[in-house]
Amino acid sequence: MYKFLKAVMNFVYSIIHPYKLIGKEKVKDGACVLIGNHYRLWDIVHMACTTKEKVHFITKKELYKNKFLAYLCNKVEAIPVSRDGNDAKAIMTALRYLKKGEKISMFPEGTRNRTDAELLPLKGGAAIFAIKAKVPVYPVMSIGKTRYFRKTPIVIGDPIDLSEFYDIKMSQEDYEKAENIIREKMLAVVREYKLNTEAKKRNKKGK
């Protein structure tokens, strides 16, 4: 069912919001945390299409109020979490999937970005999952807001290594440091892509 729903959703979404996935080869098999900036509800399609493996999406419990969305979430084994993020059951479920060698994905901004900011403040969570399960974090970044019928680059960055935090007693300051590393890496993916694109344009003009 997961593969079928993924194919259908990607087909429909690609018509309305076409995108180009760049760097897909970076995502290796096995457990990892996929994270991204968040503009639209269906940004989860980008995450799903980074790999042939199943991805468990961390979603807001509010989505389950809609019967259709609740049906989809249950079929793909999404992980519902409360808005404040303090949900022990969701954390344990996500860690269980990771320790089984499976993938999870989340939008650490916690909500859709309706502002002009490159990235909203992160609500946390990604660092906790990655450190406790000892897995890499892959940023999957939309270069600007997705637009109707215009192709948007979706760039996958290099894996974020948080191994310096493994096997130590983590303080709140340590988790904040790890989350800041994640945030800076997410922003770096977008900025590097934009700089490279601008450089290519200048080179073409100079020829």
Query: What is the pLDDT, as a whole number, of residue 85?
Result: 57
Nearest to 155 by CA among 125, 115, 196, 124: 196
The CA-to-CA distance between both ends of the chain, in Å, stands at: 51
User: What distance in Å separates the CA atoms of residue 34 and residue 47, rounded to the nearest whole number?
Assistant: 7
Query: What is the pLDDT, as a whole number, of residue 156?
Result: 98
User: Rounded mean pLDDT of 47-59?
Assistant: 95
Q: In this structure, which amino acid lies at residue 179?
A: E
- Cβ contact 39:71 at 8 Å: no
User: Rounded mean pLDDT of 109-120?
Assistant: 92
The answer on pLDDT for 187 being more than 60 is yes
Contacts of 130 (CB under 8 A, 6+ apart): 33, 136, 137, 160, 162, 178
Query: What is the pLDDT, as a whole number, of residue 83?
Result: 66
Split at pLDDT 50, 70, 90, the class of 34 is very high
- Cβ contact 103:29 at 8 Å: no
Split at pLDDT 50, 70, 90, the class of 98 is very high
Whether the CA torsion 192, 198, 202, 204 is positive or negative: it is positive
User: Rounded mean pLDDT of 179-207?
Assistant: 91
Please tell me the pTM assigned to this model. 0.93
Instruction: Tell how strand 79-81 and strand 55-60 pair up.
Output: parallel
